[in-house]
């Protein structure tokens, strides 16, 4: 079955880039890769998603390996407000319906 | 912020009692989802809806039922609550099917079953 693996925690300095890795070696060809982040006592917040090509938006960039077995979320300049738990998620459409596979998340600490 | 309201925000109940959680949206989005979040498991999909009266099971649907009689409301019912259903429940919405679309999440309902 599909799964994602992320480091438990990472630390960054403010205004430096952050690269958050995710391994999803069991991904299938039509599975989308999503990233969400979650602050304490809040619901997850969408960050970015993609299928095969690298993606950029105002929040972050998503770099997807050529074999799609891993991906990296890139925050170009970390701020204190970026401190959160970041979830790498596979989004699947299978016989029987739609599934989402959440990893355990990476807690990002940002130092001033 | 997306217009999603979950109620109640906190609920304490006893084993064996029925519980209904409500999700209300003002975005007129077609898709609505119920997730639960537990330590060590991330979020897991319980049920989702792709239109009024159209629902489907997610990965952890046992013990839960849902109903959607209006576009804006999606109800999650625990027919007979158990302690294993103590969790934080999140509702989410999306304009299109969620596998290629961003989801907007509500603020969650903390449910404790004693």
| pLDDT for A41 | 86
Give one word for B19, left, alpha or beta, with left for phi > 0 and alpha for psi -120 to 50: beta
Question: Of A43, A46, A96, which has the smallest distance from its Cβ to B102's Cβ?
Answer: A46
Contact B99 A103 (CB under 8 A): no
Omega prior to B18 cis, within 30 of 0: no
**Over the stretch A82-106, which tens digit does the pLDDT of each residue have?**
999 999 999 887 766 677 888 889 9
The span from the CA of A32 to the CA of A41, in Å, is 27
Q: With contact defined as beta carbons under 8 Å apart, do B32 and B48 qualify?
A: yes
| pLDDT for A78 | 95
| pLDDT for B42 | 81
The residue-averaged pLDDT of A38-43 equals: 91
**Over the stretch B26-77, which tens digit does the pLDDT of each residue have?**
999 999 999 999 987 788 999 999 999 999 988 899 999 999 999 999 999 9
DSSP 8-class letter at B59: T
Question: Of A44, A91, A105, which has the smallest distance from its Cβ to B98's Cβ?
Answer: A91
Q: Which single residue is written with the structure tokens 């300049």? A: A77
| pLDDT for B19 | 97
Mean pLDDT, chain B, whole residue set: 93
The residue-averaged pLDDT of B79-83 equals: 96
pLDDT above 80: residue A57: yes
Looking at CA atoms only, how far is residue A77 from chain B in angstroms?
A: 23
| pLDDT for B12 | 97
| pLDDT for A95 | 66
The span from the CA of A101 to the CA of A99, in Å, is 7
Residue of A nearest to B106 (CA): A43
| pLDDT for B71 | 96
């Amino acid at each position: 079955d599909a799964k994602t693996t992320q480091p438990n925690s990472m630390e960054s300095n403010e205004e430096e880039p952050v690269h958050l890795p995710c391994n999803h070696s069991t991904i299938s060809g039509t599975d989308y890769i999503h990233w969400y982040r979650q602050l304490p006592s809040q619901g997850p917040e969408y960050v970015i998603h993609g299928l095969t090509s690298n993606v950029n938006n105002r929040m972050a960039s998503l770099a997807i390996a050529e074999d799609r077995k891993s991906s990296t979320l890139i925050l170009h300049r970390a701020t204190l407000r970026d401190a959160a738990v970041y979830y790498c998620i596979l989004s699947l459409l299978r016989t029987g319906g739609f599934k989402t596979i959440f990893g355990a998340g990476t807690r990002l600490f940002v130092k001033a | 912020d997306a217009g999603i309201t979950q109620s109640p925000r906190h609920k304490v109940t006893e084993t064996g009692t029925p519980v209904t959680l409500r999700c209300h949206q003002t975005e007129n989005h077609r898709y609505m989802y119920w997730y639960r979040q537990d330590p060590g498991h991330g979020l897991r999909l319980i049920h989702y809806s792709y239109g009024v009266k159209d629902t489907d099971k997610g990965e952890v649907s046992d013990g839960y039922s849902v109903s959607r009689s209006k576009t804006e409301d999606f109800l999650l019912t625990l027919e007979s609550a158990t302690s294993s259903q103590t969790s934080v429940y999140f509702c989410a919405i999306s304009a299109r099917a969620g596998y290629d679309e961003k989801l907007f999440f509500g603020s969650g309902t903390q449910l404790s079953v004693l």
